[in-house]
């Protein structure tokens, strides 16, 4: 899950440096967050956490 925040860190660095790839990387960070959510949803987790 650390990787999500690495992606957001790179997005912020891109914003500060005014890079054109920022929106693309931001969308990639969101998609990766969704992938981790889906992976977590497929875990046999208990309901009481």
Partner 1 sequence: MNIINNAERVFVSRETQAARIINVLALFALIGVLAGSLHLQLGVGEQPCPLCLIQRSAMIGLAIGPVMNLLWGMKPAHYALSILAAMVGGAGSTRQILLHIADPNDPGYGPAVLGYHLYTWAFITFAVAIVGCAFMLLWNKPFEAQDTGLRFQRSWFRIAALTGIIWVFLDLLVIGISVLPECGLGMCPDDPENITGAGDVGGWLVVLSIGLLAFAIAVAIVSDRKVLKPRTQST
* Residues at the interface with partner 1 (CB under 8 A): 1-6, 8-9, 11-12, 15-16, 18, 22-23, 26-27, 29-30, 33-34, 36-37, 39-41, 43, 45-49
Nearest approach in angstroms of CB 11 to partner 1 is 6
For the chain, give the number of residues. 49
Residues 6+ apart with CB under 8 A from 22: 11, 14, 15
Contact 28, 7 (CB under 8 A): yes
Joined together, the tokens standing for residue 38 give 């889906």
Nearest approach in angstroms of CB 15 to partner 1 is 6
Nearest approach in angstroms of CB 23 to partner 1 is 6
């Amino acid at each position: 899950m650390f990787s999500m925040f690495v992606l957001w860190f790179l997005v912020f660095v891109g914003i500060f440096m005014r890079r054109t790839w920022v929106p693309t990387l931001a969308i990639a960070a969101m998609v990766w967050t969704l992938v981790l959510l889906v992976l977590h949803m497929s875990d046999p987790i208990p309901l009481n956490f």
